[in-house]
């Protein structure tokens, strides 16, 4: 979890959407179970929303300052691959969509 420490103040919100039982979302669910405590420990004021709905493809959204929003697809990825994608998302420049 070393990649997910103190995040930039430009990140205003982090949202995860996934299916609560689908195999395609299993990597995302596992990532949330292991990474959420570290993420909140280092970023206690950052809203992290987790939304589960049957049949929803696994995705992560980051909202940056000025309402800029970016997302990555997480379906059918392992937990390690999800961490890589989320790290890329959180390090993405927030100037354009």
For 38-87, the pLDDT digits (tens) are: 999 999 999 999 999 999 999 999 999 999 999 999 999 999 999 999 99
Q: Which helix (H) or strand (E) holds 62?
A: strand 59-64
The answer on pLDDT for 2 being more than 60 is: no
In this prediction, residue 4 carries a pLDDT of 67
In this prediction, residue 5 carries a pLDDT of 74
Contact 71, 61 (CB under 8 A): yes
The answer on pLDDT for 97 being more than 60 is: no
């Amino acid at each position: 979890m070393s990649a997910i420490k103190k995040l930039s103040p430009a990140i205003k919100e982090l949202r995860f959407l996934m299916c609560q039982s689908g195999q395609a979302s299993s990597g995302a669910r596992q990532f949330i179970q292991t990474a959420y405590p570290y993420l909140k420990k280092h970023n206690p004021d950052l809203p992290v929303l987790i939304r589960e709905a049957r049949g929803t493809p696994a995705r992560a959204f980051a909202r940056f300052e000025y309402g800029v929003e970016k997302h990555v697809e997480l379906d059918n990825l392992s937990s390690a691959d999800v961490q890589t994608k989320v790290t890329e998302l959180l390090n993405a420049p927030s100037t354009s969509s």
